[in-house]
Amino acid sequence: MPKWLKDAVFYEIYPQTFYDTNGDGIGDIKGIEQKLDYVKSLGCNAIWLNPLFDSPFMDAGYDVRDYYKVAERYGTNDDLKHLFETAHEKGIRILLDLVPGHTSDQNEWFLKSKLPEKNEYTNRYIWTDSVWEAPPQYRLLCGITDRDGNYMVNFFSSQPALNYGFNNITHPAWQLPPSHPDCQATVEALKDIMRFWLDMGCDGFRVDMADSLVKGEDGEKPETCKVWKNVRAMLDKDYPEAAIISEWCNPKVSIGAGFHSDFYLDHDTNGYRILFRDKDPKTGECRAVFGKNGKGDITRFLEEYLDDLKCTKGKGYISFITCNHDTPRMTRLFTPEEAKLAYAFVFLMPGVPFLYYGDEIGMSYREGLTSKEGGFSRTGTRTPMQWNNEANCGFSSAPAEKIYLPVDTSEDAVSVEKCENDPDSILNTLRRVIAIRHANADLQSDGDFEVVYAEKNTYPFIFKRGEFLIAVNPTDKEQSAPCDYNGESVFAVGKVCVEKKKITMQPQSLSLIRIQK
């Protein structure tokens, strides 16, 4: 386990819309480098970069054309190497986004795989043995190459699935077992890509769709787990301080497969949604725990989370996120004050937390935008970072019509500049919370977690982390609960009073108390 993950706080950067230095309307690597001091000022000592590799950008870079080359619009390989070096000088680690399950249909591997003549890449992707073979249970593209066969895609039609084999073979004429040499060659190619960037200076990878490799698997996906255990063995031997974090959302499986941490994602009915995104399917009314209307139920979250935490304790971490590039920002459902409490909570929980760019200033989800590079409903979460009140909110000097996505020009648009001057802004609140986390081992990734008060359909929620008591009341009403602890308030949002074995919390409040011994 890389030791630095114990105190890691990540900042996710969507490079297209973070900061543009050459005036072409698209963010770039030099822009990220220029903003490293800002990232550090947040208390973030690690960065996750969304894909920077060469791509036709049918899916915002998650369709990789060349795994070994930085996309020209972002800069060069040398620019990325310099970013690694500069970040390290400032005490910041950087993870690249690794896409192991598919490539672009313009990738050289695929161009060779679709040739009629057999070659070393013929089985690098999943093909049926005949253009007439198209089982409906598979997502296949049919009859568009000279090769006699149809190929499987992982998601969009431009993303042919790499071949790691099938665990449950139902069509032996074209499905290979994971042990087949051609499937093993795919694994080795993946490891070669990782070695290339680790040798250049990156600190590891966030792994996209990490559970999507071996096909024909459900549940615990044993053959896909074998692939990642193979990768982890390579890292432990040659790059012991490199981290791999999975987009899997099943930590009991992914941590056992070799990942150091697993994202807690916004999936139907899971704990993350219950906390931050839950809505009544009929009325649309907010039922999230952090909604001010008090309709949430913390026990629904704890039923799942406590089991996951117990099963992964001492083996790996669970990564809470404020948001990511795939989900609507919390401000779509929450007011800024609701979002402030929710974001603060993320950094007071165990595991390795991630802050999505712009969440620290309360950027809004932009409704109604036309899809950009496969964004669709996700496009509204990927708009340019709002730095100041200058043209294009300080993101770019390009004419507005050339900006990657439209900048929020509304009168009430937030910006870093505005938030800097407000001591109670989300920005300054999160800076204080993250600083306290760094200063106290009990609040870091591997610190203990103990529920103190959590009743069904009731507030507040109180939990303990080592010598700290954390109480949160997201509702718009005063709430109280029995409390046998006294101590010094270290951090608070709103007013909280502890006396006579009772805690009373004003509406929309959070308190961090160092317990008296």
CATH number of the domain encompassing residue 459: 2.60.40.1180
Do 284 and 381 belong to one domain? yes
Do 399 and 356 belong to one domain? yes
Contact assessment for residue 186 and residue 124, using Cβ atoms and an 8 Å cutoff: yes
Residue 292 to residue 275: CA distance in whole angstroms: 12
Q: Is residue 193 part of a domain?
A: no
Neighbouring residues of 199: CB distance < 8 A, sequence distance ≥ 6: none
Do 300 and 391 belong to one domain? yes
- Per the document, the length of the chain is 517
Tokens of 504: 């009373």
Residue 465 to residue 441: CA distance in whole angstroms: 10
- List the strands of the sheet with 502-505, edge to edge: 479-482, 502-505, 496-499
- Cis-peptide, bond into residue 100, ω within 30° of zero: no
Q: Is residue 69 part of a domain?
A: yes
Three-class DSSP labels, 355-397 = EECCHHHCCCCCCCCCCCCCCHHHHHHCCCCCCCCCHHHHCCC
Domain boundary among 405, 439, 473: 439
Domain boundary among 163, 179, 200: 163
Tokens of 376: 């669709």
- What is the structure's pLDDT at 202? 98
Do 294 and 430 belong to one domain? yes
Do 106 and 86 belong to one domain? no
Here the CATH number for the domain that contains residue 373 is 3.20.20.80
Domain that includes residue 112, residue range: 102-163
Contact assessment for residue 362 and residue 356, using Cβ atoms and an 8 Å cutoff: no
Do 326 and 309 belong to one domain? yes
- What is the structure's pLDDT at 517? 78
Element (H, E) at 223: helix 222-238
Residue 442 to residue 448: CA distance in whole angstroms: 7
Do 308 and 414 belong to one domain? yes
Cα torsion 422, 427, 432, 436 to 10°: value is 180
Strand partners, 459: none
Do 277 and 378 belong to one domain? yes
- What is the structure's pLDDT at 269? 87
Do 393 and 298 belong to one domain? yes
Q: Which long-range contacts (CB under 8 A, 24 or more apart) does 394-403 make?
A: 395/17, 395/18, 395/19, 395/20, 395/27, 396/19, 396/20, 396/23, 396/24, 396/25, 396/26, 396/27, 397/20, 397/23, 398/20, 398/23, 398/24, 398/25, 399/25, 402/24, 402/25, 403/25
Here the CATH number for the domain that contains residue 119 is 3.90.400.10
Q: How many distinct structural domains can be found in the chain?
A: 3
Q: Is residue 208 part of a domain?
A: no
Closest to 202 in 3D by CA, of 320, 101, 319, 82: 82
Domain boundary among 403, 422, 439: 439
What pLDDT tens digit does each residue of the chain (517 aa) get? 999 999 999 999 999 999 999 999 999 999 999 999 999 999 999 999 999 999 999 999 999 999 999 999 999 999 999 999 999 999 999 999 999 999 999 999 999 999 999 999 999 999 999 999 999 999 999 999 999 999 999 999 999 999 999 999 999 999 999 999 999 999 999 999 999 999 999 999 999 999 999 999 999 999 999 999 999 999 999 999 999 999 999 999 999 999 999 999 999 889 999 999 999 999 999 999 999 999 999 999 999 999 999 999 999 999 999 999 999 999 999 999 999 999 999 999 999 999 999 999 999 999 999 999 999 999 999 999 999 999 999 999 999 999 999 999 898 999 999 999 999 999 999 999 999 999 999 999 999 999 999 999 999 999 999 999 999 999 999 999 999 999 999 999 999 999 989 999 999 999 999 999 7
Do 311 and 398 belong to one domain? yes
Residue 381 to residue 378: CA distance in whole angstroms: 6
Do 27 and 114 belong to one domain? no
Q: Is residue 379 part of a domain?
A: yes
Q: How many CB atoms lie within 10 A of CB 138?
A: 19
Do 94 and 120 belong to one domain? no
Cα first-last separation, the chain? 32
Question: In a 3-state reduction of DSSP, which class is residue 258?
Answer: coil
Q: Is residue 206 part of a domain?
A: no
- What is the structure's pLDDT at 358? 98
Q: Is residue 184 part of a domain?
A: no
Element (H, E) at 95: strand 93-98
Q: Is residue 196 part of a domain?
A: no
- What is the structure's pLDDT at 385? 98
- What is the structure's pLDDT at 339? 98
Q: Is residue 207 part of a domain?
A: no
